[in-house]
Structure 1
């Protein structure tokens, strides 16, 4: 299961696949309806591969949690995220018994199950351990770091340009 290019975009329902980086942000495609949207630099975006769930000992990567659900459900769909909170909590304890119930809220569990069911319906989850070629993993990490650096540089450049534009407008 590869969540490297799957995004959650703040203020937008569902999940998105990262398609292309642009000068002003990037282009993403909805996994729900296939529509493509342009995402600017100022919008909060989370890569699913970077999300973790709190446990009492450490943080568990979302990929491992999704794999645990896939194993329990034999690659089938999980329970609905619309179930009662008590049902969701009991289910999540079966998946991840050591999760920190004080820092992982029912709303977090709902989001994880909703994401899992969406990814499962698209065939993007698997109970199989991924075979990772170290060079591929290093290349993916380097690519992600380069994208983040470019985005950060563009955000800084925008912040520097904004006061200069205001000062120029005042002089005129």
Structure 2
């Protein structure tokens, strides 16, 4: 199980793991119930490894936020994302004290906590904090290295093909 292959699909609840890339998109497996799903190229997909949280000074990678929550909760579940707004803001303030309160909304905090709890239930949290060795030989701890590799799950929109005019139509015009 690789956390670099975890993604969120717009319009679909929960998180998914990228399994296989196909010509028309890819196949993803739900981390909640294990059901496989075919995702087309036109779907809006976000790799969690590419998401960051705004802070007062810079941006903090989402997996670094997850690592902070895991440390606070001793790899256990976080606060429920359905808690009231004041509790969510206070909890997130303990985890990321310098988060930008103007650009990070309560809805963002709910997503982060929900995603963390899904990953924790699927045993991804324990693997996030383990050191791993990449194919380049560099050591990755908490998904932070200078030589990080990402999965190519880029969504590309197909452009409509130009209409062809047939010889018959061009002769009619003349």
What TM-score does the superposition give when structure 2 sets the normalisation length?
A: 0.82
Match of 2:131 in 1: 131
State which drifts further: 40-49 or 131-140: 131-140
Over aligned residue pairs, what C-alpha RMSD do you find?
Answer: 2.6
Correspondence list, 1:1-172, <5 A: 2-126=2-126, 129-133=129-133, 135=136, 141=149, 144-145=151-152, 148=154, 152=156, 155=157, 158-159=158-159, 162-164=160-162, 166-167=163-164
May I ask how many residue pairs the two structures share in their alignment?
A: 160
Q: How far apart are the structure 2 equivalents of 1:163 and 1:128?
A: 43
Contact 1:50 1:61 in 2 (8 A): yes
| SS at 1:21 equivalent | strand
Unpaired segments of 5 or more residues in structure 1?
none
TM-superposed deviation, 1:163: 3.4
TM-superposed deviation, 1:139: 8.5
Residue by residue over 1:22-48, the C-alpha shift from the partner in whole angstroms, topping out at 9 and shown as x without a partner, is 000000001111110110111110000
Moved over 6 A (4+): 137-140
TM-superposed deviation, 1:8: 0.2
Q: How far apart are the structure 2 equivalents of 1:168 and 1:123?
A: 57
Contact 1:75 1:127 in 2 (8 A): no
Rg (Cα) greater in structure: 2
